[in-house]
């Protein structure tokens, strides 16, 4: 198994701590808020108000379960549009009171069922991207496991994007990549390496800003090791972002994502011959 595929396997472990465990380990007095005030309350998105070392913050995250029953209650961590609309409602509330927003991302992707599409899944994600890009309060996004496509990006248009050591972030899964490009899912490990979807590659290419280390014995056995690292980083970064004038904060956020709009051509070999694709200018491979 390749190093990239090992990280993918760890990121997907059912024992891996979920958003509620991170919230409980990092913040105080978390009060969960429910519903999008339009349709329903999506269990795949957890959000509310908390304190971080005396500072009021808004915390939002994509929830997964550890058992079949828990996963069914949160749709296996794949939000419906009402989940993203709930998240946006909480972010707009945070903007009103100038509370920093901290998001936790762990999803294979947004739910793609008929009901989700009928209720405007694409619009809900697109609106989050637009609104987060101009939200007048600091945003920090932390990838704790999987980061799949627009389902992850909808909570990750942030001033700072961090990732746990064995997190991942990509436009699609390595299985999907291998199936589409080579029509051969047995090449999934090769696809994972080629996609540069793990924390080391993402930091090198400027997609994320920080890697949060995990304990050698496994995150599920020593969550406190990693939550302590997150607390240390948040303590410095939240103050720094709150002290930044809003106009400068928004301009830096804009420039952070604008740089990904410049591309260069790459070539990937398929069974039928060379296939031209694209990667960002920051891809130094």
pLDDT of 283 over the 50 cut: no
Of 15-24, 235-244, 276-285, the poorest mean pLDDT is in 276-285
Residue 116 lies in a domain: yes
Residue 173 lies in a domain: yes
- The CA-CA-CA angle for residues 214, 128, 159, to 5°, reads 50
Residue 285 lies in a domain: no
Per-residue pLDDT reduced to its tens digit, 18-46? 999 999 999 999 999 999 999 999 999 99
Residue 47 lies in a domain: yes
Residue 3 pLDDT: 85
**pLDDT confidence bin for 124, thresholds 50/70/90:** very high
231 lies in which domain range?
3-280
Domains contained in the chain, number: 1
pLDDT of 271 over the 60 cut: no
Residue 208 lies in a domain: yes
Residue 141 belongs to a domain with what CATH number?
3.90.226.10
Residue 125 lies in a domain: yes
Q: Residues 81-105: what's their mean pLDDT?
A: 97
Comparison of pLDDT for 173 and 262, the residue scoring more: 173
Are 18 and 44 in contact by the 8 Å Cβ rule? The answer is no
- The CA-CA-CA angle for residues 216, 219, 221, to 5°, reads 90
Per-residue pLDDT reduced to its tens digit, 155-181? 999 999 999 999 999 998 999 999 998
Q: Residues 200-211: what's their mean pLDDT?
A: 93
Burial of residue 265, with CB atoms counted within 10 A of its CB: 0-12 exposed, 13-18 middle, 19 or more buried:
exposed
Fill in the DSSP letter of residue 13.
Answer: -
pTM for this entry: 0.90
Pull the structure tokens for residue 218.
Answer: 């496994």
Q: Residues 185-190: what's their mean pLDDT?
A: 90
pLDDT of 270 over the 70 cut: no
Residue 13 lies in a domain: yes
Residue 251 lies in a domain: yes
């Amino acid at each position: 198994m390749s190093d990239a595929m090992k990280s993918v396997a760890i990121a997907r472990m059912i024992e891996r701590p979920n958003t509620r465990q991170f919230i409980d380990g990092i913040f105080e007095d978390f009060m969960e808020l429910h519903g999008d005030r339009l349709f329903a309350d999506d269990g795949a998105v957890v959000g509310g108000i908390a304190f971080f070392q005396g500072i009021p913050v808004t915390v939002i995250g994509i929830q997964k379960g550890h058992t079949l029953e828990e996963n069914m209650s949160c749709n296996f961590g794949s939000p419906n549009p009402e989940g993203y609309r709930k998240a946006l409602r909480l972010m707009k509330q945070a903007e009103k009171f100038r509370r920093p927003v901290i998001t936790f991302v762990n999803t294979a992707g947004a739910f793609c069922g008929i009901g989700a599409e009928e209720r405007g899944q694409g619009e809900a994600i697109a609106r989050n991207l637009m609104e987060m890009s101009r939200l007048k309060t600091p945003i920090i996004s932390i990838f704790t496991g999987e980061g799949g496509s627009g389902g992850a990006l909808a909570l990750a248009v942030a001033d700072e994007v961090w990732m746990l050591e064995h997190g991942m972030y990509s436009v699609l899964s390595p299985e999907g990549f291998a199936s589409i490009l080579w029509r051969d899912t047995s090449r999934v490990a090769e696809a994972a390496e080629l996609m540069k979807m793990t924390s080391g590659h993402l930091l090198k290419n400027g997609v994320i800003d920080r890697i949060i280390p995990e304990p050698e014995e496994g995150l599920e056995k020593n969550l406190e090791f990693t939550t302590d690292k997150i607390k240390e980083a948040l303590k410095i970064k939240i103050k720094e972002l709150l002290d930044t004038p809003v106009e400068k904060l928004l301009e830096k956020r804009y420039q952070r994502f604008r740089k990904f709009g410049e591309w260069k051509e790459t070539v990937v070999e398929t069974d039928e011959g060379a296939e031209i694709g694209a990667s960002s200018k920051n891809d130094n491979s």
